[in-house]
Structure 1
Amino acid sequence: MIAVTVEWTPRTRAIVAGRPEGQGEPSNVPIVPASALGLGYSREDGTPTWVALEAAIGELEGGHATAFASGIATVSAVLDLLPAGVEVAVPGDSYVGTRAMFDHAEQMGRLRIRRVEPADTAAWVSAAAEVDLLWLESPTNPSLELIDIAAIAAAAKASAKRPKVVVDNTFATPLGQQPLALGADIAVHSATKLIGGHSDLLLGLTVAADEELARGLRDARTRGGATPGSLEAWLALRGLRTLGVRYAEASRTAALLAERLGSHAAVTRVRYPGSGAMISFELAGPDLADRLCERLRLVGHATSLGGVESTLERRAARAGDAHVAPAALRFSVGLEDPEDLWLDLAQALDSLG
């Protein structure tokens, strides 16, 4: 593989990392649909396609990467590392699938959960002295709250308990933040979303700060059979190559739309973390939010996010997200022309009266 230099920007490294090197080698890693390679099963040793994807993500996050069949499979793998009876701190607002996994583990008596408000850094620091794992998500899904990863990771390292710090980096992507550089032990991604970028795959990624943790996650993948397909790994790697330009363009559009939404009389609140493709905004009531979704023509009313197409959804209407503000809308900004997106949003907002 091409030797990547630290002088190159993350955008360049996302394009170069994991590529074959040498005369006669393909410019892109091919799909290797093999169930076994030599004397080993691919579920244990991986395929060249997985290896290239893991090398690229590991390079961007600064750690040792492991690919999984889905984003939720990464949560299962982290849980697999924990002994029974431990206490885990999780944010009150986070991805509904993650909360369901932790809730199930608690119901089965495997662990105890301490729920912490995302922005309450003091509560996280206090938890770092008492729990066995800190699961962070920043920005959170769907409310886009921010968590002080560096302060919490520092508290964890200073604690006698030395809890592991895991960060779901799906919304920020490795181009928006690198949790391991901020002191986290593991970063996880649903590559289904922004990394893949085209709404055509399911895949998860973990990146561990040290080889021992990475080995444990790989073992969990093998035991659980949560191995990615070679086609999905290839699609995720292809999506990663354009992440730099997609992330930059979506960020520019999202910043523009967040500003305009904040100035519209029908919008009562806007949250935008300053970069990335995700916006959260609220209307005066859930009925208005539902009517807005119905009247959009360009922006899709769908639960998906992170693709080249823009989508919008009222998350409180979904099972498991009752804690979300009733009229809050999660908006995933795609790559359409920003003026076309605003025309669609404006006509729908204006029609509410």
Structure 2
Amino acid sequence: MVAGRPPRAHDAELNVAVSLSATYVGGGSLATGATDTGEPQGPTLGYGRFGNPTWSALEEALGALEGGEALTFASGMAAVAAALHLLPATGTVLVPHGAYNGTHSLTALLAEQGRVAVRHVDITDVAGVRAVLAEVEGPVALWLESPTNPLLEVADIAALAAAGRERGAVVVVDNTFATPLLQRPLELGADVVVHAVTKFLSGHSDVVMGAVVVPPGSAHRDALLRHRTLHGAVPGPLEAFLALRGLRTLPLRLERSQASAAELARRLREHPAVTRVRHPSLPEDPGHALAARQMGGFGAIVSIEVAGGAAAADAVVDAVRLWVPATSLGGVESLVERRRRHAGEPRVVPEDLLRLSVGVEDLEDLWADLARALDRVAPRG
């Protein structure tokens, strides 16, 4: 049986159908359907917040890709929140200094509420992270991104996961940029993998969804399922259907996008309006050697810094025509944005940094549009 598809039979549907029911026919005692806290129990669905056949198909496919058991959530941030709640109250979470701004903002809010303490770390410095792990007291979670969003720093996941295990930390890896096709953090020692399914996995800019994946038989799955059920962070069945459809084309989309990204990164190095290009494919990139060992490819996100500061970077965004000025990433459309325009963006992100999400359009068309926009702000002389 192929993951995420119904059993093969003559005249059977090829795809799992969209199950739009919020209520399921039940019977017998409550114990056969759900506990009094509203958690699913036993073989029945019971209620639309407990489970859905369309979610299950997507979870089966994503779990197979990551080598674990997946749970889907209403958004990537819902998945992030669920993973953070694996850390007991008064614990400490170590977060990359340049992590996704949603993660930064949520951990800052939890710290304000006295829920957790937060330590920002340089995840490219294994010895430094190990030292911080040794300093903190009480329960610890080590939150990793690799590559990071949007600085594209590469973490040694195996070494950091080993350091986390020695300390008894829960090790979480946000694998949104790499996807399970390029990197499988559970095999490198992570306890939990988080995805913004909205991005590469669904791939068509029409779904908001998240997912968490844990190793088979992990006790964390029960805690994550309880969180999803009681917080109501459940995905819509139509969104799950669309995400599963998008997942089927992920290998093709990612192959095209990351090949174009690597070529654009090479060309951008030579443009006079660009002061720095960040992409692990470049031999001079600080994360190149590690990414080449740890990943099956270098990904489809490129970040550049533009001569002339924030104003020049904004002018580039205003001048493009094929590239779309928009947030998000991982879709078939190529997107560009200046990340520090967001209030919650970490201060370590340069004001003039543009994040490029490379889609599947013709490479030469993408280059012509971007080069023309950069030419407008290139230094004269």
Q: TM-score range by the shorter chain?
A: over 0.9
Contact 1:85 1:109 in 2 (8 A): yes
Q: Does 1:241 align with 2:228?
A: no
Contact 1:187 1:206 in 2 (8 A): yes
Letter aligned with residue 282 of structure 1? E
Distance 1:73 1:321 in 2: 19
Q: Residues 1-353 of structure 1: matches in 2 within 5 Å?
A: 2=1, 16-23=2-9, 24-39=11-26, 40-44=46-50, 46-129=51-134, 130=136, 132-159=140-167, 162-209=168-215, 210-274=217-281, 275-284=298-307, 285-321=309-345, 323=347, 324-353=349-378
Range with bigger deviation, 125-134 or 229-238: 125-134
Letter aligned with residue 333 of structure 1? V
Q: Displacement, 1:314?
A: 0.7
Distance 1:62 1:25 in 2: 28
Aligned partner of residue 87 in structure 2, secondary structure: coil
Contact 1:93 1:118 in 2 (8 A): no
Aligned partner of residue 269 in structure 2, secondary structure: helix
Q: Which residue is 1:9 aligned to? A: none
Contact 1:70 1:203 in 2 (8 A): yes
Q: Displacement, 1:192?
A: 0.5
Distance 2:8 2:361 in 1: 38
Distance 1:171 1:192 in 2: 11
Q: Count residues in correspondence.
A: 336
Distance 2:113 2:346 in 1: 23
Letter aligned with residue 28 of structure 1? N
Distance 2:77 2:185 in 1: 19
Q: Displacement, 1:42?
A: 2.2
Aligned partner of residue 62 in structure 2, secondary structure: helix
Contact 1:144 1:272 in 2 (8 A): yes
Q: Which residue is 2:33 aligned to? A: none
Q: Displacement, 1:36?
A: 2.3
Q: Displacement, 1:158?
A: 2.5
User: Between Structure 1 and Structure 2, whose CA radius of gyration is higher?
Assistant: 2
Aligned partner of residue 219 in structure 2, secondary structure: helix
Letter aligned with residue 214 of structure 2? A
Distance 1:235 1:107 in 2: 37
Aligned partner of residue 27 in structure 1, secondary structure: coil
Aligned partner of residue 263 in structure 1, secondary structure: coil
Shift of the 140–232 alpha-carbon distance from structure 1 to 2, 3 Å rule, reads same
Letter aligned with residue 21 of structure 2? A
Identical residues among aligned pairs (%): 51
Shift of the 108–156 alpha-carbon distance from structure 1 to 2, 3 Å rule, reads same
What's the Cα RMSD here? 1.2
- 1:22-59 CA distance string (max 9 Å, x none): 31321111100111233311211x11100000000100
Contact 2:97 2:346 in 1 (8 A): no
Q: Displacement, 1:317?
A: 1.7
Aligned partner of residue 73 in structure 1, secondary structure: helix
Distance 1:174 1:132 in 2: 25
Letter aligned with residue 248 of structure 1? E
Aligned partner of residue 165 in structure 1, secondary structure: strand
Contact 1:128 1:152 in 2 (8 A): no
Q: Displacement, 1:305?
A: 1.1
Letter aligned with residue 158 of structure 2? A
